[in-house]
Amino acid sequence: MSNLLRKLSLKIKYQTNLYLFVDYRAQIGIRFITRRKGSLIAACLAIAIAILVVQVNSVIFQGLYDAIVRDLVNYRFGHVFISKRGDFISRSDFMLVNWLQRIPWVQAAAPRLEYSALSINSTVNGQLIQDHNAPVPVLGVKPEWDMAASTLYQTVKGQYVSYRNSIVLGQLVQRDLGYPQIGDTVKIKFKDQFGNDVLKRFTIVGISATAGNQGNDNGVIINIDTLREIMDRPSQSSEIIVRLNDPSKASDVRDLFLSAFPSNADRFKAQTIEEAAEVQLAGFRSGIALINLVGFFGMISSAFGVVTIQMMQVTSKTRDIGVMRAIGSKRKDILLVFIFQGIVIGAIGAAMGTGLAIGYTTYAKETHMTFNGSLALEVKYNWMGLVQTDIMAFSLAIIASIYPAFKATKLQPVEAMRTG
């Protein structure tokens, strides 16, 4: 079969003489490199691996970043996060949620109230165990609304909070309390806004556990009305989380809300997820930039590999260069021969790298890649990034060919033929 193909290609090549009319510098450049399979494979692999490294970095670190953003949206902030500067929101949550849900891009909105308990304890096998990590973060939710605006309920083994004395323990709190089970009770001590201790007993209905502890694993979730009652803050909320059916409209929803509630008395603060989670994300973004930098340094190392291989090509082709110069090739023609070699290396390397990168991305996406049981990466096909990396790798292969090509032009024909 391969013999037949070879004969067919030779027939096309020579009977039509098409190949004879290709620019001779391109033809010789391509022949020089494609007939040295070892050099070609090594140079192309250098380029392909550089692309793969950048893409692997992107899949892992951008995937991790996107996964963190995804979980922050799902569990903590929504796409738009509304709070009040320095105080609790005192406007009716019914009114605010209803207003927000009239915006076409809003899928759901829900109020939340955050507080800290002084201590929490449970009795397991007759032994009283107090959570030593107190104070314990307490999140008050309105169950039906929260299940529409957040996926926090999906992290719960058992049931989400429903009735007034139900509680969902984070898995770390459960661990610190000696692993009380669903149906067991816990006692929590609060301090109300007037400084009075309030002791309250809850029945465990579920345990919340998330990969990478991105959810509410180190806190507890109770009914918002119970928490309002304990804090003596009827109808108040610390935030409204807003889930959008089109996340790209987050800024529009934020602006709409702020223009609708401009009052100084409200002092609302509305933020997109990127703004709300700035503290958590800023450091990570710097890390991604650093990793990308490392990837691009790797790419430059590959370029040095191409330089080395091209220099070897020039050395092994010294006599041919001399002959070409003797029969009339100009210096720029010799330059172009080796630049064309760089183009071939860049093109094949970029194609191989793209194939490997897409293969790896597909594998990571299909297997919901995780590391050590941490959160699953949010893998996306970043076509623009891949094209940019390809262009950069392709350009580097050509740039890496310039110096060897320049060295080749410096060979005097008589010297080249003598030493080649």
Partner 1 sequence: MLEVHNLEKVYGEGDTAVRALENINFTIRKGEFVLIVGSSGSGKSTLLNMIGLLDRPTSGKVIIDGIDTSTLNDNQLSSFRNSKLGFIFQFSNLLSDLTVLENVLLPRKIEGTEESAVEEAKTLLRTVGLEPQLNKFGNKISGGQAQRVAITRALINKPAIVLADEPTGNLDSLSAETTVHLLKSLNRKLNQTFVVVTHDRPQFGQVDKIITIKDGKIVEGELEAMA
Output the smallest distance, CB 46 to partner 1, in A: 22
Nearer to partner 1, 32 or 153 (CB): 32
- Any contact of residue 284 with partner 1 (CB under 8 A)? no
Nearer to partner 1, 22 or 282 (CB): 22
Output the smallest distance, CB 414 to partner 1, in A: 4
- Any contact of residue 32 with partner 1 (CB under 8 A)? yes
By CB under 8 A, the residues from 160 to 189 that bind partner 1 are none
Quick one: which of 63, 86, 135, 124 has its CA closest to 379? 63
Output the smallest distance, CB 60 to partner 1, in A: 42
Output the smallest distance, CB 316 to partner 1, in A: 10
**∠ CA 336-339-340 to the nearest 5 degrees?**
85
Nearer to partner 1, 323 or 399 (CB): 323
Question: Distance (Å, rounded) from C-alpha 235 to C-alpha 229?
Answer: 9
28, 44, 52, 53: residue in contact with partner 1 (rule CB under 8 A): 28
- Any contact of residue 38 with partner 1 (CB under 8 A)? no
Question: Distance (Å, rounded) from C-alpha 349 to C-alpha 371?
Answer: 29
Compose the 361-400 pattern: x for residues touching partner 1 by CB under 8 A, - for all others. ----------------------------------------
Nearer to partner 1, 34 or 162 (CB): 34
- Any contact of residue 8 with partner 1 (CB under 8 A)? no
Tell me phi and psi for residue 179, to 5 degrees: 60, 55
Alpha-carbon separation of residue 62 from 73, 84, 289 (angstroms) = 16, 32, 10
- Identify the DSSP state of 399: H
6, 8, 9, 14: residue in contact with partner 1 (rule CB under 8 A): 14
- Any contact of residue 328 with partner 1 (CB under 8 A)? yes
Q: Which stretch binds partner 1 (CB under 8 A): 29-37, 220-228, 301-309, 398-406?
A: 29-37
- Any contact of residue 148 with partner 1 (CB under 8 A)? no
- Any contact of residue 24 with partner 1 (CB under 8 A)? yes
- Any contact of residue 203 with partner 1 (CB under 8 A)? no
Strand partners, 137: 116
Output the smallest distance, CB 306 to partner 1, in A: 20
Q: How many residues bind partner 1 (CB under 8 A)?
A: 28
- Any contact of residue 331 with partner 1 (CB under 8 A)? yes
Question: Distance (Å, rounded) from C-alpha 343 to C-alpha 7?
Answer: 27
Q: How many CB atoms lie within 10 A of CB 139?
A: 24
Provide the token pair at 393. Answer: 């790798």
Strand partners, 84: 87, 268
226, 272, 313, 329: residue in contact with partner 1 (rule CB under 8 A): 329
| CB-based contacts of 231, cutoff 8 Å, min separation 6 | 113, 115, 190, 192, 193
Alpha-carbon separation of residue 231 from 115, 161, 175, 226, 248 (angstroms) = 9, 18, 27, 9, 36
Output the smallest distance, CB 64 to partner 1, in A: 48
Question: Distance (Å, rounded) from C-alpha 418 to C-alpha 420?
Answer: 6
Q: Are 316 and 389 in contact (CB under 8 A)?
A: no
Output the smallest distance, CB 32 to partner 1, in A: 6
Q: Is residue 149 packed enough to be buried (19+ CB in 10 Å), middle (13-18) or exposed (0-12)? A: buried
158, 298, 385, 413: residue in contact with partner 1 (rule CB under 8 A): 413
Tell me phi and psi for residue 219, to 5 degrees: -140, -170
Quick one: which of 70, 145, 147, 142 has its CA closest to 113? 142
Provide the token pair at 412. Answer: 């005097």
Nearer to partner 1, 19 or 304 (CB): 19
128, 282, 289, 414: residue in contact with partner 1 (rule CB under 8 A): 414
Question: Distance (Å, rounded) from C-alpha 334 to C-alpha 297?
Answer: 30
Compose the 288-327 pattern: x for residues touching partner 1 by CB under 8 A, - for all others. -------------------------------xx-xxxxxx
Question: Distance (Å, rounded) from C-alpha 11 to C-alpha 18?
Answer: 11
Q: Which residues bind partner 1 (CB under 8 A)?
A: 10, 14, 17, 20-21, 24, 27-28, 31-32, 35, 319-320, 322-331, 333, 412-414, 417
